[in-house]
Amino acid sequence: MNNNDTRKIKILFLFILVTLGFIIFLGTLFYWTNIDRRLPKLVYKEVTHATRGSIISSDEFRVATSKKLYKATIDTRNIDPNKLELFVNLYSLYTGMDKKKLRRKIKSTKGTLVLSYKIDPKNAKYLKVLAKKLFRYGVFKTYYDKKRDIAFLYGLSITQSGERREYPAKDTLTPVVGYVKKIEKNGITKVTGVKGLERYYEDRLLSIQDATIVGYKDIANTIILNRDSVTSARIDGLDLHMTISLKLQKIIEKLLDKYKKELQAKEIVVGVMHSKSGAILTLATSNRFNPDFIRREDYPNLNVTAIERIYEPGSVMKAITFALLLKEKKINPYDLVRIFGGRYKLGRRTITDTHKYEWLSAEDVIVHSSNVGTAQIAQKLDAIEFYEGLKDFGFSKKTGIDLPYEKRGIIPTLHRFKSETYKATVGYGYGLEATFMQVLKAYNVFNNNGRIVTPYIASYFTSTDGKVVNIQRDKEAEVIPVSVAKRMKSILKKVVQKGTATNAKIKGLEIGGKTGTAHIAQGGKYVRKYNSSFFGFANDKQNRFTIGVLVREPKKPYHYFASLSAVPVFKEVVLRLVDEGYLSPKTIENTN
């Protein structure tokens, strides 16, 4: 082999060696740039999660509120074995956790350990102070991981794990307030509304923005705030302020509990509404539940009966029918109506009355709640007048109250109003279905100069910085002329003075209303079960309230009559309004 060949071989060998070295260099570089070396972070991000807004009564009590939950986490490899007992003693002292259980959990776990998921804000604050002390006491030391060739130091970490919804008033104001369910969102436990106000105002109550801090940490594991750090403010959900007083609500609910037992009723519902504005002062039921502990037997009580249950309202509809007749100028209150001794045949149907009158004035047909009289005077309305008149009063439409899942109710089609039988039965409250709130809203027209307003429970909202957020209201509309409304008020007052509701009288107050005792239909026929109701008003010189009472299926003998069930409840409710200063009987007495 000559010198030239030897030189070529050496050059080739050297080239291969350089190329191989370069490939090894590139491979090493690629490896170290792509593997997770778990180096300590230089920049940290700390998140404080925003919470759901509260629901607050008009007398400033929180009936629904959110509490933050925190979790405590450690890496057991960072605990100095010589300081383990110090950690166990201090942590158990701050949290009340059993020492033996804590010691066993730490010794049985090598790595990340969650000590607790449900730490309340108060204890979380104390534990954050403890976390700093533990660093100063040298409880935690750097751990070197030989397999990964890294060293790290983690202490006691207190981070938010979610939020819990609490209902301090327990079953008061349910089911109107509603309840929530838990959801997991980015590893955090949140809640979302399912029923009641919680559901209807979900978009307002929902938290808006979490607070974040991004920056470097000091030796005590605290983020340093300087010009290089980045922060964003926490924005919680809006607080909902109701028109309902917690104190009055409790008083009314206690009253309903008593009467439900006394009347052996399935349920009693009461609504009190400011006649001018539509603001709900109380919406109570005897059938409630505790949103913190919902049991299987509570399931039937989760719905708001006032808006989710439709029923045939019975004789309370007679006042609506008479108002439509007055509006269309189809009747004079002093016209005489023959009652035929309380029995009247219309087609194949025989209509009967409890009282055996021969003649009554048109307005006394309402005062004494005559089915026979109503069946006859209802014929004066033509199909369109009757059909459209009921719709004007809000029947077959949602009332617009701020609660979810409201039913529309049912009225016969326009064609059916051409039937004399349908006119008669609808005239005295059968053949159509309505909700309690629809009837309350309709009766409010009589106490509000003929104008219809939308009932509401949410008064306004407030943000975390105290800013008030008002709610836009629907405009009121005229349903009947003022003169007709005044005449109807006079007739409804006469019902209380001389008719079927004399037990509702309270000296010094302007009180009127109409009783309703309605058969319940089951399996296509009417059975011996009843709903009893009384809808009316109670006024003094300055305040006007529309009040409704519904007693579902009272079983006490003979107390299915509204005069013996719904009317006494109505009177008790008015007396409670007097006791709490909402009405003043002396006001009218003095003016007289």
Is the domain of 496 the same as that of 472? yes
Is the domain of 443 the same as that of 380? yes
Q: In angstroms, rounded to a whole number, what is the distance separating the alpha carbons of residues 365 and 338?
A: 10
The answer to whether position 359 is within a domain reads: yes
pLDDT digits (tens, 9 = 90+) for 371-391: 999 999 999 999 999 999 999
Q: What is the pLDDT of residue 34?
A: 59
Is the domain of 217 the same as that of 256? no
CA dihedral 279, 285, 289, 290 (to 10 degrees): 40
The answer to whether position 267 is within a domain reads: yes
Is the domain of 195 the same as that of 144? yes
**Residue 147 banded pLDDT, cuts 50, 70, 90:** confident
**Residue 118 banded pLDDT, cuts 50, 70, 90:** confident
Is the domain of 326 the same as that of 197? no
pLDDT at 168 over 90: yes
Q: What is the CATH number of the domain that holds 225?
A: 3.90.1310.10
By mean pLDDT, which of 142-146, 336-340, 364-368, 549-553 is the weakest?
142-146
pLDDT at 122 over 80: yes
The answer to whether position 137 is within a domain reads: yes
Q: In angstroms, rounded to a whole number, what is the distance separating the alpha carbons of residues 193 and 533?
A: 32
Cα–Cα nearest to 62, from 283, 241, 266: 241
Residue where a domain stops, chosen among 208, 242, 276: 242
3-class secondary structure, 3: helix
**Residue 339 banded pLDDT, cuts 50, 70, 90:** very high
**Could you tell me where the DSSP H helices lie in 349-481?**
362-367, 371-377, 383-392, 420-427, 436-444
pLDDT cut 90: percent of the chain above it: 67
Is the domain of 219 the same as that of 251? no
Residue 507, number of CB atoms within 10 A of its CB? 9
At residue 424, φ and ψ (nearest 5 deg) are -65, -50
Is the domain of 226 the same as that of 252? no
Is the domain of 435 the same as that of 470? yes
Is the domain of 283 the same as that of 400? yes
Q: What is the pLDDT of residue 225?
A: 67
Q: What is the pLDDT of residue 588?
A: 46
The number of folded domains in the chain is: 2
The answer to whether position 102 is within a domain reads: no
Q: In angstroms, rounded to a whole number, what is the distance separating the alpha carbons of residues 1 and 8?
A: 11
Residue where a domain stops, chosen among 242, 263, 291: 242
pLDDT at 587 over 70: no
- Average pLDDT (112-126) is 87
Please state whether 39 falls in left (phi above 0), alpha (psi between -120 and 50) or beta.
Answer: beta
Higher pLDDT, 322 or 152: 322
Q: What is the CATH number of the domain that holds 269?
A: 3.40.710.10
- Average pLDDT (452-479) is 95
Is the domain of 280 the same as that of 195? no
Is the domain of 476 the same as that of 532? yes
Task: Tell me what the pLDDT averaged over the chain comes to.
Answer: 90
* Domain enclosing residue 251, as ranges: 246-591
Residue where a domain stops, chosen among 242, 275, 291: 242
Q: What is the pLDDT of residue 580?
A: 96
The answer to whether position 296 is within a domain reads: yes
pLDDT digits (tens, 9 = 90+) for 25-82: 777 776 656 554 444 555 666 677 788 999 999 999 999 999 888 889 999 999 999 9
pLDDT digits (tens, 9 = 90+) for 252-308: 999 999 999 999 999 999 999 999 999 999 999 999 999 999 999 999 999 999 999
Is the domain of 381 the same as that of 442? yes
The answer to whether position 40 is within a domain reads: no
The answer to whether position 103 is within a domain reads: no
Please state whether 9 falls in left (phi above 0), alpha (psi between -120 and 50) or beta.
Answer: alpha
Higher pLDDT, 452 or 464: 452
pLDDT digits (tens, 9 = 90+) for 406-423: 999 999 999 999 999 999
Q: What is the pLDDT of residue 546?
A: 98
- Average pLDDT (533-542) is 96
The answer to whether position 226 is within a domain reads: yes
pLDDT at 589 over 50: no
What is the secondary structure of 259-270 as a DSSP string?
HHHHHT-SEEEE
pLDDT digits (tens, 9 = 90+) for 202-260: 999 998 887 777 766 665 556 666 666 666 777 889 999 999 999 999 999 999 999 99
